[in-house]
Structure 1
Amino acid sequence: MRVIGLMSGTSYDAIDAAAAELRLDGDRLVLSPLGMLSRPYDDGLRAAIAGSLPPASTSMEDVCRLDTGIGQAFAEVARQAVEQLCGGQADLIVSHGQTLFHWVEGSTVRGTLQLGQPAWIAEATGATVVSDLRARDVAAGGQGAPLVSIIDVLWLRGRSGVPVALNLGGIANITVARDEPVAFDTGPANALIDAVVAELTGRAFDADGVMAARGQVHAALFERLLAEPYYGRPAPKSTGKELFNLAYLARFMEGLPEIPAEDLVATVTALTARTVADAVRRYGGTEVIAAGGGIRNPVLMRQLAAELGSLPLRSTDELGLPSAAKEALAFAVLGFLTVHGLAGTVPSCTGARHARVLGSITPGVRGPLVLPRDVGSPVSLSIE
């Protein structure tokens, strides 16, 4: 089956599309990447997303406009992916949408909201669309995140030791692929870095870690940030920009003298490295296999390597899975499981009571999607 995964993370800078051929070979799921493309949000839509995120307030009119605008943006990227990556024909499109709110009270997730009306994608491409994948896990008592954990577990199963898959997006998350796997958000990755850089310079992110490299970690602020209670909570757990935002950072800076911009960026960059490394050590990780936009920040990666000490740090590219496409490919896999009636979660990773089939299906325009019957759940994932 030829499947396209669509993803825009908590950094909301671009929409990624990754295509793959997916097939079941006995109890093995075989994934053959077909390529990816990425398109930035236009400035107006990105500003509208930013203006609606916590701690800002919004209206139902804004929500409706965003749902339509994001859906149309995803539809255009999907249309391009069908033509450029799939030769004009895709069997299935899987859309993560754009997370606008992740409702967490204490250690319990009450709800999660991803916008981007899938009907626009179905109309633009004619393909069946799977969307809204997180809500079912939340309804089953889970965190709704990190959903990529099932792909990490299937893929890394069989490696020696305790491999840890790391995603450095707006929020950092890990999957610890041990006998009883565990996965959770460790804390901020690019969320605070990007927010500080945008506020102080107007640029979207710290390109090549230049600002962090020029700065010094502010010891007092660093210690205050590390005292955040979230880090001490047991897994499974999830978080987002609802917690880690500029207002949050400002509260920790109260009473401190003015901090130079470069030092502030250096401090929040070091925070990501320390909290990720602490989480890996806490769960006995023996190697870290990283993906996500954060791996393109050489300063962050050097700091993370230093924090991990003797533990190997490598990218998913070294193991055959394109790091830039990993999350979009992961959602392609989740949609593939959904339309085959197979569960897409690992309860020990999300905290759900049971593994569940995820998402909602929007029919395409070319007739029903005919699927094989009586297929079993895969126990491993191979990249070819």
Structure 2
Amino acid sequence: MRVIGLMSGTSYDAIDAAAADLSLAGDSLVLEPLGMVSEGYDEELRRTLTGALPPAATSLAEVCRLDTRIGQAFAAAAVRADRELCGGEAELVASHGQTVFHWTEGGKVHGTLQLGQPAWIAEATGLPVVADFRPRDIAAGGQGAPLVSLVDLLWLRGRPGTPVALNLGGIANLTAPDGTAFDTGPACALIDAAARGFSGGRLAYDADGALAGRGRVHEPLLERLLAEPYYALPAPKTTGKELFHLGYLQDALAGFGTLRAEDVVATLTMLTARTVADAVLALGATEVIASGGGIRNPVLMRMLAGLLPGIAVRTSDELGLASDAKEAYAFAVLGFLTWHGLAGTEPASTGARHASVLGSITPGRGGLRLPAPGSRRPARLVMA
């Protein structure tokens, strides 16, 4: 079955559309990657989205407009992926949408909101769309994240030692072989916020770690940042830009006087490396398999490797799964499981009471004809 997975992460820099040929073979799910295309949000939409995200105030009218325009942008990415990667023969679209709020309070997740109305995708492609993946896990008592943990577990099953999957997006998350999975804290969220703030919006992120590479870690600031209570919470736990945003950084900088932009960014990069490394060591990992935009920051990767002596730090590309496309492929897998009536969560990873079939299905142009439900969820993911 040819499935297109659509993903835009907490950095909201682009919509990634990855196409995969997925098939069940015994107890394995076989994934043949067909490639990925990326579509950036147009500047006006990106500006509007940025202005509506917490801690900014917004209106229901703005939420409605964003839901429509993001849905149209996702639809355009899906149409392009079907044409360029699937030769017009895609059968299903799985859309994560754009997370705009994750309601966490008292150590519990109460709700989540992803925008990008799937009706626009179904109308533009003619294909059925699985969307709105996270709420069902939250309704079952889970965190609704990290949902890619199930794919990591299937993919890394049977690998020797204790491999840990690491995603470095806006937020960093880990998955261990026993199913333990959680957000460690910010990956690029605070680094990006600092780059934008210090450059007056000219820089969206610290390209190639250039700012961090010219800076020095400011130890008092690092210690203040490491005192954040989130890091001490037990897993499973999840966080987002509702906590780690520019205002949070500005509060942390209070009382330090004028610090060089390069030193602040170097300190934030070390914060990411420290919080990830502490979590990796606590899991007893023998190797780290990283993906996400953060792996393109050589300063961050050097810092992380330096804090994990004797533990191999490699990218998912080395194991045959393109790091830039990994999350989009993961949602293609989750959409495939939903289409076949199979659960897409691992309770040990999200803290839910039970595993759940995820998402809602929007029919395509030809109506809705679901396959017979699979009898059992596959035990492993194999890359073709």
> Above 0.5 in TM-score?
yes
CA contact (8 A) 2:340 2:370 kept: no
Shift of residue 366, structure 1, vs aligned partner: 2.1
> Any residues of structure 2 matched to 1:344-383 within 5 Å, and which?
344-383=344-383
Identify the residue that residue 37 of structure 1 maps to in structure 2.
Answer: 37
Code of the aligned partner of 1:244: F
2:246 corresponds to 1:246:
yes
Q: 2:299 and 2:369 mapped to 1: Cα distance?
A: 47
Q: Which residue of 2 aligns with 1:198?
A: 196
Aligned residues of 2:342 and 2:373 also touching (Cα < 8 A): no
SS of corresponding position for 1:5: strand
- Which secondary structure state, in structure 1, belongs to the residue aligned with residue 337 of structure 2? helix
Kindly indicate whether the alpha-carbon contact (under 8 Å) linking 2:143 and 2:352 is maintained by their aligned counterparts in 1: yes
Report the equivalent of 1:224: 224
CA spacing shift, 1:133–1:374, aligned 2, 3 Å:
closer
Distance 2:370 2:65 in 1: 34
CA distance in 1, matches of 2:326, 2:350: 19
How do residues 283-322 of structure 1 correspond to structure 2 at under 5 angstroms? Answer: 283-322=283-322
Q: Residue type of the partner of 1:136?
A: R
1:156 deviation in Å? Answer: 0.5
Q: In the aligned structure 2, how far is the partner of 1:81 from the partner of 1:246?
A: 34
Say whether the 8 Å CA contact 1:222–1:271 is kept in structure 2: yes
| 1:148 has 2:148 as partner | yes
**Is the contact made by 2:3 and 2:92 (CA closer than 8 Å) also made in structure 1?**
yes
For residues 305 and 374 of structure 1, what CA distance do their matches in structure 2 show?
Answer: 41
Q: Matches of residues 259-274 of structure 1 in structure 2 within 5 Å?
A: 259-274=259-274
Letter in 1 for 2:190: L
C-alpha deviation, 1:368, in angstroms: 2.8
Deviation at 1:362, TM superposition (A): 0.1
What do residues 186-232 of structure 1 show as CA deviations (whole Å, max 9, x unaligned)? 00011000111011112111111000000011111000001111111
Native 8 Å contact 1:340 1:375 kept in 2: no
Contact in 1 for aligned 2:341/2:373 (Cα 8 Å): no
Question: 1: distance between equivalents of 2:261 and 2:273?
Answer: 19
Normalised to the residue count of structure 1, the TM-score between the two structures is 0.98
* Distance (Å, rounded) in 2 between the aligned partners of 1:103 and 1:203: 29
Distance 1:370 1:316 in 2: 32
Provide the residue aligned with 2:157 in structure 1: 157
Q: Is the 8 A contact 1:126 1:365 kept in 2?
A: yes
2:92 corresponds to which letter in structure 1? Answer: L
SS in 2 for 1:145: coil
Does 2:325 correspond to 1:338?
no
Q: Residue deviations 1:125-183, cap 9 Å, x none?
A: 00000000001001100000000000000010111111100000000000011xx3100
Any idea what SS the aligned residue of 2:114 has?
strand
CA distance in 1: counterparts of 2:376 and 2:85, whole angstroms? 29
Distance 1:231 1:78 in 2: 37
Kindly indicate whether the alpha-carbon contact (under 8 Å) linking 2:341 and 2:374 is maintained by their aligned counterparts in 1.
Answer: no
AA aligned to 1:255 is G
The answer to whether the Cα contact below 8 Å between 1:128 and 1:369 also exists between their aligned partners in 2 is no
TM-score by length of 2: 0.98
Q: After superposition, what is the alpha-carbon deviation per residue over 1:70-100, rounded to whole angstroms, capped at 9, x for unaligned? A: 0000000000001000001211000000000
Aligned CA-pair RMSD: 0.8
Give the secondary-structure state (helix, strand or coil) at the position aligned to 2:124: helix
Q: 1:235-279 deviations in whole A, cap 9, x for unaligned?
A: 000000000011111222121121111111111011000100000
Residue equivalent to 1:182: 180
User: 1:54 and 2:54 equivalent?
Assistant: yes
- CA drift of 1:308 comes to 1.2
Q: Is the Cα–Cα contact under 8 Å of residues 45 and 69 in structure 2 kept in the other structure?
A: yes
Q: CA deviation at 1:375?
A: 3.3
Match of 1:18 in 2: 18
The separation in 1 between residues aligned to 2:360 and 2:62, in whole angstroms, is: 23
Corresponding residue SS for 1:137: helix
Separation (CA, whole Å) in 1 of partners of 2:374 and 2:344: 16
Q: What is the alpha-carbon distance in structure 1 between the residues aligned to residue 239 and residue 88 of structure 2?
A: 38
How far did residue 374 of structure 1 move? 4.2
